[in-house]
């Protein structure tokens, strides 16, 4: 086993022993294409206005940080500041244009709870399908199935098709599957608005358990009180740039004073 020195690591800053996520000088641009029809393409090209068919904007601009095991990090910022894009890059759904994202271990992304649920399948079938999508093996799902159903508190409807669920029931089951995947890195995007207050408390307790077990958590939320309570570190983004990276109270205070 070789130690990593500055020289070997090159542009990547040296990861510590507990580092889980490395975000290194990451830039992400989006090209918005307004239209793709051949007719419009020809017409606009002839009028020499082809460049106005697309317009680019930079969602993330030269963002760098490390996240360690057991750290709970809140990503803060207004809509469109690049929080969700950052989560998508860490989960692998999207790729960077410049810079690098590196992760160690498996990532479970809750970019949106219930992605991968199918309304025509029963709750039970969806637990298996969604569990497998989030990276669990058949054995793991079998072992945790009872816990998942118990946590969701909808056991009497587990063999009903999900399309007959209320939105609350649906989100409970989806969240329950996700928090039982036990990933090394847990990405949460605005999902703690799930269910009624007792259920929210239960979710927060479960997230604290994951944190205590040494999992790295990255949480995107607009509920500043909740994240201040749950996370110890905050990263504030504005128009794709990191404004603050420090204790969550500092980041939340800065966010409140700015906006």
Partner 1 sequence: MTTVQTDEFVEPGRGAGLLDVLRRRYLVKLLVRKELRVRYQGSVLGLFWSYLKPAVQFVVFYFAIGVFLGLSRNIDDFAVYLFSGIVAINYFSEAFGNATRSIVGNGALVKKIYLPRELFPVSSLWVAMVHLFPQVLVLIAGALIAGWRPSIVQLGAGVLGFLVVTVFSLGLGLLFGAINVVFRDAENFVDLILMIATWISPVLYFWTMVTEAIGTGPLWWLYQANPLTAAVELFHYCFWFPATDETAPVLPHLGWIGLGALGLSALVMVLGQATFRHFDGQFAQEL
Q: Compute the distance between CA of residue 236 and CA of residue 83 in angstroms, rounded to an integer.
A: 9
Site for partner 1 in 63-92 (CB under 8 A): 88-92
Q: Is residue 236 within the footprint of partner 1 (CB under 8 A)?
A: no
Q: Is residue 241 within the footprint of partner 1 (CB under 8 A)?
A: no
Provide the minimum distance between the beta carbon of 63 and partner 1 in the complex, in angstroms, as a whole number: 15
Site for partner 1 in 134-193 (CB under 8 A): 134, 137-138
Q: Which of 27, 30, 153, 247 binds partner 1 (CB under 8 A)?
A: 30
Q: Is residue 111 within the footprint of partner 1 (CB under 8 A)?
A: yes
Q: Is residue 11 within the footprint of partner 1 (CB under 8 A)?
A: no
* Nearest CB to partner 1, comparing residues 100 and 241: 100
Q: Is residue 2 within the footprint of partner 1 (CB under 8 A)?
A: yes
* Nearest CB to partner 1, comparing residues 122 and 239: 122
Provide the minimum distance between the beta carbon of 102 and partner 1 in the complex, in angstroms, as a whole number: 4
Backbone angles phi, psi at 94, to 5 degrees: -120, 165
Q: Is residue 1 within the footprint of partner 1 (CB under 8 A)?
A: yes
Q: Is residue 58 within the footprint of partner 1 (CB under 8 A)?
A: no
3-class SS letters over the chain: CCCCCHHHHCCCCCCCCCEEEEEEEEEEEEEEECCCCHHHHHHHHHCCCHHHHEEEEEEEEEEEEEEECCCEEEEECCCCCCHHHHHHHHHCCCCCCEEEEEECCCEEEECCCCCCCCCCCEHHHHHHHHHHHCCCCHHHHHHHHHHHHHHHCCHHHCCCEHHHCCHHHHHHHHHHHHHCCCCCEEEEECCCCCCCHHHHHHHHHHHHHHHHCCCEEEEECCCHHHHHHHCCEEEEEECCEEEEEEEHHHHHHHHHHHC
Taking CB under 8 A as the binding criterion, the range among 118-126, 150-158, 168-176, 197-205 that sits at the site for partner 1 is 118-126
Size of the residue set binding partner 1 (CB under 8 A): 44
Q: Is residue 120 within the footprint of partner 1 (CB under 8 A)?
A: yes
Question: How would you classify the pairing of strands 241-247 and 98-103?
Answer: unpaired
Provide the minimum distance between the beta carbon of 228 and partner 1 in the complex, in angstroms, as a whole number: 27
Q: Compute the distance between CA of residue 240 and CA of residue 111 in angstroms, rounded to an integer.
A: 18
Provide the minimum distance between the beta carbon of 113 and partner 1 in the complex, in angstroms, as a whole number: 10
Which positions touch partner 1 (CB under 8 A)?
1-4, 8-9, 12, 15-17, 19, 22, 30, 36, 88-95, 100-104, 107, 109, 111-112, 115-116, 118, 120-121, 125, 128-129, 132-134, 137-138
């Amino acid at each position: 086993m070789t130690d990593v020195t500055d020289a070997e690591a090159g542009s990547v800053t040296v990861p510590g022993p507990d580092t889980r996520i490395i975000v290194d000088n990451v830039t992400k641009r989006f090209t918005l294409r307004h239209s793709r029809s051949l007719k419009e393409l020809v017409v606009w090209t002839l009028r020499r206005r082809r460049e106005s068919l697309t317009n680019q904007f930079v969602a993330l601009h030269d963002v760098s940080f490390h996240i360690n095991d057991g750290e709970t990090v809140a990503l803060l910022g207004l809509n469109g500041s690049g929080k969700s894009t950052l989560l998508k890059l860490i989960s692998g759904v999207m790729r960077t244009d410049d810079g690098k994202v590196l992760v160690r271990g498996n990532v479970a992304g809750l970019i949106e709870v219930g992605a991968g649920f199918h309304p025509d399948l029963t709750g039970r079938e969806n637990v298996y399908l969604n569990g497998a999508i989030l990276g669990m093996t058949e054995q793991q799902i079998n072992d945790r199935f009872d816990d998942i159903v118990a946590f969701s508190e909808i056991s009497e409807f587990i063999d009903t098709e999900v399309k007959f669920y209320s939105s609350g029931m649906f989100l409970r089951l989806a969240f329950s599957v996700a928090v039982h995947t036990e990933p090394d890195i847990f990405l949460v995007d605005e999902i703690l608005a799930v269910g009624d207050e007792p259920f929210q408390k239960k979710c927060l307790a479960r997230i604290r358990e994951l944190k205590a077990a040494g999992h790295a958590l990255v949480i995107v939320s607009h509920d500043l009180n909740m994240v201040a309570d749950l996370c110890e570190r905050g990263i504030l983004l504005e128009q794709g740039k990191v404004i603050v990276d420090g204790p969550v109270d500092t980041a939340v205070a800065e966010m409140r004073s700015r906006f």
